[in-house]
Amino acid sequence: MNAFLTDLFISTQGWLFDRLVQPVLFALGLAGYVEMGFEGIEFVLMGILELGIAYTVLRPLEAFWPAERWRNRRAVRVDVMYTLLNRLGIIPLAVFTLLAPAFMALDGWLRFHDVIPRQLEDWLPGLDTHPLASFLIYLLILDFAEYWRHRLSHTLGGWWALHGIHHSQRQMSFWTDSRNHLLDDLIAGIWFAGLSLLIGVPPGHFIGLLVTLRLVENLSHTNTRLGFGRFGDYLIVGPRYHRWHHAIDLPEGEAYRHGCNFAILLPVWDVLFGTLHLGAKLPATGIHEDSPDAMAARDDFWGQQKLGLILMWRALAPRRRRSGAT
């Protein structure tokens, strides 16, 4: 079965490469990019596979064991669009195109000055030949970094203006995971890929790490009553846990001024940094929009993009005025 599925995957990848990608690359004189093109198809196929798994497993949970019952799912449509842009590789490709040349230039400059950046394996040589241990350690490091990226996106006003788009969904479903302002996606991509390159995440691990985190994020946004129990909620982020992060009314207390439950995969970060909240009820999700524009943009892709930029501008503007006055 496993061999059959692997063969099916490879032959699909080969067919798409042969019919769609390879002819275009040769026609454009970009034969040097064929390997990248081939691996790009794998990235897209993994995204489709991931979506298939999420839909097969999570959609029934939403249908049969929902946290909220909705009259219709119209509000979810825009999140589906975000998800397709993300999983079909369009947003990751944009991030890669912007990030790769800058990183190569920096790395090249360092090497010419005899600086070879240290990697995790330089301190833990055994990791070279223990891919599972290496995978888990990198996952831990990246998840830790993701916790802080996420927390900062709630704390810094300009960033929150963008990230608020993600939280504006009042019908949160497993599709909501990808509902992000494009600039927020870009920042997140630079954060994740930049750190991965800095600490030397093996390229072979990269897709696996990304898929692991994305599947858990799909699960945690699912509209379901599912929780992992008293102890389970301390082990891995689930729908009940993450629902509190999206609560329209945050729990009371100074610790939760900017939000709670920022962890992506492991709740331990919320425990360690005092942002954990495990409530018994299932709160409503969303944010309190304070303008008609914001309400109108709730279900509109381009409206959200525009609104995010305007809000970010407003959030940053006072600081500029202050610095201009001094």
Binding site for another protein (CB under 8 A): 3, 6, 10, 13-14, 17-18, 22, 26, 29-32, 34-35, 38-39, 104, 107-108, 111-112, 116, 119, 121-122, 128-131, 200, 202-204
SS (H, E, C) 114-133: CCCCCCHHHHCHHHHHCHHH
Q: State the alpha helices, DSSP H only, in 17-156.
A: 22-27, 34-64, 77-87, 90-112, 120-123, 131-155
Distance of closest approach, residue 108 Cβ to another protein, in angstroms? 4
Distance of closest approach, residue 204 Cβ to another protein, in angstroms? 4
Distance of closest approach, residue 95 Cβ to another protein, in angstroms? 18
Question: Which DSSP letter does residue 181 get?
Answer: -
By C-beta, is 10 or 235 nearer to another protein? 10
Nearest to 87 by CA among 173, 205, 179: 179
By C-beta, is 197 or 287 nearer to another protein? 197
Report whether 174 contacts 62 (CB < 8 A): yes
Question: Which DSSP letter does residue 165 get?
Answer: H
By C-beta, is 32 or 324 nearer to another protein? 32
Q: Burial letters for 259-292: b for 16+ Cβ neighbours within 10 Å, e otherwise?
A: bbbbbbbbbbbbeeeebbbbeeebbebbbebeee
User: Distances from the Cα of 232 to the Cαs of 82, 132, 214, 215, 240, in angstroms?
Assistant: 30, 23, 19, 17, 11
Distance of closest approach, residue 96 Cβ to another protein, in angstroms? 14
By C-beta, is 18 or 300 nearer to another protein? 18
Distance of closest approach, residue 254 Cβ to another protein, in angstroms? 44
Distance of closest approach, residue 188 Cβ to another protein, in angstroms? 23
Distance of closest approach, residue 57 Cβ to another protein, in angstroms? 26
Distance of closest approach, residue 203 Cβ to another protein, in angstroms? 5
By C-beta, is 10 or 81 nearer to another protein? 10
By C-beta, is 103 or 228 nearer to another protein? 103
Which class for 219: exposed (0-12), middle (13-18), buried (19 or more C-beta within 10 A)? buried
Report whether 289 contacts 295 (CB < 8 A): yes
Cα–Cα distance, 167 to 125 (Å, whole number)? 42
Region of 236 on the Ramachandran plot (φ > 0 left; ψ -120 to 50 alpha; else beta) = beta
By C-beta, is 135 or 160 nearer to another protein? 135
**Residue 171 token pair:** 């019908």
Distance of closest approach, residue 189 Cβ to another protein, in angstroms? 19
By C-beta, is 74 or 118 nearer to another protein? 118
Q: Which helix (H) or strand (E) segment is 173 a member of?
A: none
By C-beta, is 19 or 77 nearer to another protein? 19
Cα–Cα distance, 167 to 145 (Å, whole number)? 20
